[in-house]
Structure 1
Amino acid sequence: MRHIAIIGSGPAGYYSAEAAQKKFGEDVAVDIIDRLPVPFGLIRTGVAPDHQSIKAVSRRYEKTNLGDNVRFVGNVTVGDQVSVAELQDLYDAVVLATGAPNDRVLDIPGSDLPGVIGSAAFVGWYNGHPDFKDLAPPLDATSVAIIGNGNVALDVARILAKTEDEFAGSDIVGHALDALKDSKVEKITFLGRRGPHQIAMTPKELGELGQLERAMPHVAAEDFPDIGDDAMLEPGMRKSVTHLRDFLTLDSEGTDKPVKISFDFFAMPVEIQGDGKVEKMIVEKTALDKDLRSQGTGERYELDCQMVVSCIGYRTPPIEGVPYEHGRGRFANSEGRILPGLYCVGWARRGPSGTIGTNKPDGFAIVDAIAEDIGAGGRKEGRAGLDRLFAERGVEAVTFRDWKKIEEAEIARAREGSPREKFTDIADMIAARD
C-alpha cells in the first residue's frame, strides 16, 4: 500500500488525489490535509461568488473524496499540529498543494496607508474566508484604484460595481453584500503598466464588464495600436482586445450609468499619498521597449482615490524546512520534486499562473513522478500513524462527513436565491458539524 499526504484541499490537491486513485487503484491511501474545516480552497474562497458555474467543479472533487482510499483531514495546520518532517516520516510521499494565498507586496511609498488592500484580502472578505471576515474595506470611498490588468482585478471591479439584484444566485457572504449595498463608489480605475495588447484579462470575464446594470467601462482610443495589429494576437487575446474596442463604441454612445470604470493603460503607480488614509495616487506614464517591457517616461499625474486594491499577483507562503525560491514566491523544485519523498504541485510548484484546469495535468504529472520514485511503497504507517499522532496530541480533525454537515447548515441558512450562506468563523463551522 502506498501512503500519500497532500497538504491543501484546493484544485491542485484534489486533482493529485484523483490522479493517485486512477494510477494506483485500491493500492493507495491518500490523506488531504487542510488548515480550514472546509475543503476546496480557492474554489470556495477565491473564485468570484457570481461565477457559480466555475465553482461547480467542486462536485468533481467531492467524488474523489467519496472513495474509501481518499480522506479529508480538515482543521489541521501543518507546522502547528504536525510538521512536514513528521509527515515525511509517516508517508511514502508528501505533496505540497498549498497554492499561493498571500499577496505580492506592493512596494511603493504609502502602501501601508489605511485603505490600501491586497486582492487576497479583499477577495477573501467577500468570499467569506475566516482570515478576512473583519476586513471592513472603506466603501465610503467615491473613487477606487485597482492595480493590475488580470482577471482578479476584473473580479474586484465587478463586485464593487454590481447592484444588489445582480448578486442573485451568487454565494457572496451576507456581511459583504450588506456593506456593498451602502457603497459610495462612483469611479473605478484600472492601472496597468502596459497596453491593451498585453492585458491578462480573459474574454468572458472582460465581456461581463460591458453588461453591468449601473456601471460603464471607459477606454481611451489613443491607447490602442492600429486595429490591423490585432490580427497578430492569439485568438483569446484578440477576443479580449475586441471587447476593449467595443467599450470605445459604448462610451461614444454615452450613458447615464452612475459608476464609471476606466482603464488607465501605460500607467505605473509610484506613490500613494494621504493624511492618515488614502487620498490620492501618483502615477507615472510608461512606454514599451522593443521587448514589450514597460519603462517609466518621467511624466506623472495624480489620481484621486480613497481606496486602493492591489491585484499584482500572489505568493506561496514558505514552510519551515522546505527549500523556497523567494524571488518567485514558490517552493524550490525540479518538475515538482523538492526533496526525496517531498513534492509540490499547482501554484506552489509553478507560481500563480494558469487556470483551475491547468492543475489537472499538473496533478497527474506529479503522481507519475511519485510512482517512479516510491515504487510499491508500503514501508510507512500512513494514516494510521497520523491518527496515532493526533490521538497523542489531542488533535480532532474535521472529516469529509463533518464537512457535509457544515455544508447542509450553510445551505439551510442561505438567503433567498443564494446557494448557501457561508460560515465565516471557524468555531461556527465546527459547531455546525455536531
Structure 2
Amino acid sequence: MVPHLVTALTGPINELEQRVLDSMPAIERWFRLEWMEHTPPFYTSVDIRNAGFKLAPVDTNLYPGGWNNLTPEMLPLAVQSAMAAIEKICPEAKNLLVIPENTRSTFYLANLVQLQRIFHMAGLNVRIGSIDPEIKAPVTIDLPGGSQVTLEPIVRTKRRLGLKDFDPCTILLNNDLSAGIPGILEEIHEQYLLPPLHASWSVRRKSKHFKSYEEVSKRFGKMLGIDPWLIHPLFNMCGEVDFTARAGMECLTTNVDALLTRVRKKYKEYGINEKPFVVVKADNGTSGMGIMTVRDAREIAGLSDAAARRMAESKAGQPVSEVIIQEGVLTNERINDAVAEPVVYMMDRYVVGGFYRVHAERGIDENLNAPGSSFAPLAFAESTRLPQPGMKPGASAPNRFYMYGVIGRLAMLAASYELEATDPEAEVYD
C-alpha cells in the first residue's frame, strides 16, 4: 500500500526533500564517518511526523516491539542487518536468548515470533526466556494466524543467565524495564546484554535524547545548509512535577508558554498559519501514556482531575515527576482519510523498513499511539522502491521515504551519543 502524500508541492518540506536527494552521496558518507566513531544501538524504531513544513522525530525507542508489522519483503534486509549486528558483537554466537515484556498480548507475542524468525534466519538458535515470576515452566501460546510462541522461565547462575539446557552467548532485551531493573539482569559480565541496561526507561530520559538529537541536527543542518529547526522539535523540561498534588504547575506553565513563544516565532519566520501546540510527556518511557497536548499555557491551570490522573502515571504504573515539553509537530499524511505517521525500523546502522501508524479517531495534532490505532506498511518495504533522483519533489513516495530513513538514522545516531554520555562504565576524563 502506498499512502497518499497530501503535502503541497511547494514549501519547506519539498525543498528539504530536494536538498536531501541532491546531497545523497554526502549524507551517506557523513553517516559512514559517524558510525566509525560511534556504536549504533542494536535496534531502534523512530516515530516521525511530517507537518508539510517540517519533518521531525518525536520518539525514539531502543526496545522496539511491533516487528510483526514488517512485511515479508522487509525480512531479507532485517536478516542481513541482524547478521551484521551479531557479527560485530559476538561473531561466534550460536545461541540467542530473547527476554520479552511481561505481557500475554497476542499482538506483542506476534512481534516476538517475528524477532525469533529474523534471528533464526541470521543463523542463531533463538529461545524466549521470561522474567515474569508467573512463568515457572515452559508455556506455549497459540497466536492468530496459526503461529505459536513458547515462553520459558529464566535460570540465573552466579555468573550467567539462560534457560534449562540453553546457555546463550548473547541476551537480547525486548523489555524496556519501565518498572525498574530486576536484580536477575544485573552483574552479567560473561555474556553480551543488548541493549545495555542504561538504555532502559528506568534510567533513560527523553530530554537527554533530544538534547543529543539537537546536537546531531545542528551538525547535519550545517552540512546540508538548512535550518536545523526543519528536522528538530524544540523542547523544554520540568524536573519536579506532581500532577496529583498539583505541585510544580508553575514550572510547567512557564516552560509551556516559553516554548509556544519560540514556536510562534518560527511559524512567523516561515509564514506558517497553523496554531502552534506543545506535547507534554513523561520524561521516561510512555508507550502512549502520560501525554497531553497543550495549545495555550493557561490550559495547565484549568487541567481537570481526570486529565491530571492520566498524566500522573506512565507505563508499569510508574509515577510521573519529570516531564519533557516538546514542540508539537502536525502530521500531514493520510491513509484512507485517517491521519498517519511513519515509524522507521532499524537494526544496527541500517534502515530495514517500517510502517504507518494510523488512527481514524485522532486529529493532526494528537498522539496516534493510542487504543484504536492500526498499521499499514511503508512503501519502502519493497526493495525495488529505491529513491528516484530527478522526480519532482513531493511526487515520489520512495523519495519521501528515503528522507524518512535519513531522519530515523539521525535519531538513532542521537541515541548513540546519548548512550555514550550515560554509560556508567565509560571512563571520565577531566
Q: TM-score, normalised by structure 1?
A: 0.30
Q: In terms of Rg, which structure is larger?
A: 1
Q: TM-score, normalised by structure 2?
A: 0.31
